[in-house]
Amino acid sequence: MELADKIVLLTGGSAGIGREIVRQLQAKGARVTLTGRNPERLAAMREEGFETIEADFSSAAGVDALLKKWGSKDIDILLNNAGQLVDHDFREGDPDADAADDCIYTNLNAPIRLISALMPQLRARPEAAIVNITSGLAIAPAARTPIYCATKSGLRFYTLGLREQLKDSNIRVIEALPPVVDTQMNDGKPTKKMPPEECARQIVVAIAQDQDEANIGLTKALRIAESISPALARSMTLRF
């Protein structure tokens, strides 16, 4: 896909991987609108020349508010990047059930709702793409964050099914599976972290090259391990 002049809506674009993706898409000539929850960060992105929409995807009302603001505008690429990570570890105490609900809606329900609502506009374009950012933990889970892992694996399987449905259409369905990336979400984690700029670069390459799946960084090794033995892959991640 040629990215110049493509109309892109990217969720969660005011920090982390999303911020680097929109910068790199803009550098290739794409016309990007990004969403975020933090007004100060959104203001900083507007200073860089981006259109922004404040949006909270932890409920249907938040998703619908974004859709109302977007209206009937054209869209070539929907990039579902917004996400939450919540600890859910009974070894550390009683988890927050409300935080779990917010994580589930943000990571899984919101992308599905956005895809469903924007499908007519995507179908109307000469070529289009839906890009879902999942995680290496969609392949094998970490014990401390089972809610996050469940949402990302759910989005992975939704993506696989959606790709099959749309294989003969104008819409490319792409999944990107990052490893642990050096973002605010992963502050304090002692594991090796990929720079967000490099993670974003590989995602943008996957879009430009019409790849179905982008296994990024250490996720490549995890995918190999999973193909040999799912138990081996789980042994690599469950301890985290």
Number of H helices, E strands in the chain: 9, 7
148 is catalytic: yes
Whose structure tokens read 């929409």? 53
What tokens does 6 get?
Answer: 């493509």
129 closest CA partner among 173, 161, 67, 169: 173
Point out the catalytic residue in the list 57, 70, 105, 148: 148
CB 76 within 8 A of CB 7: yes
Q: Which residues contact 26 (CB under 8 A, 6 or more apart)?
A: 32, 48, 49, 50
35 and 54 Cβ atoms separated by less than 8 Å:
yes
Q: Which two tokens stand for residue 18?
A: 């999303």
DSSP classification of residue 108: I
Which whole-number Å values give the CA distances from 150 to 68, 106, 226, in the listed order?
A: 29, 12, 17
Nearest to 134 by CA among 149, 144, 122: 149
Pairing state between β 77-80 and 31-36: unpaired
Q: Which residues are catalytic?
A: 148
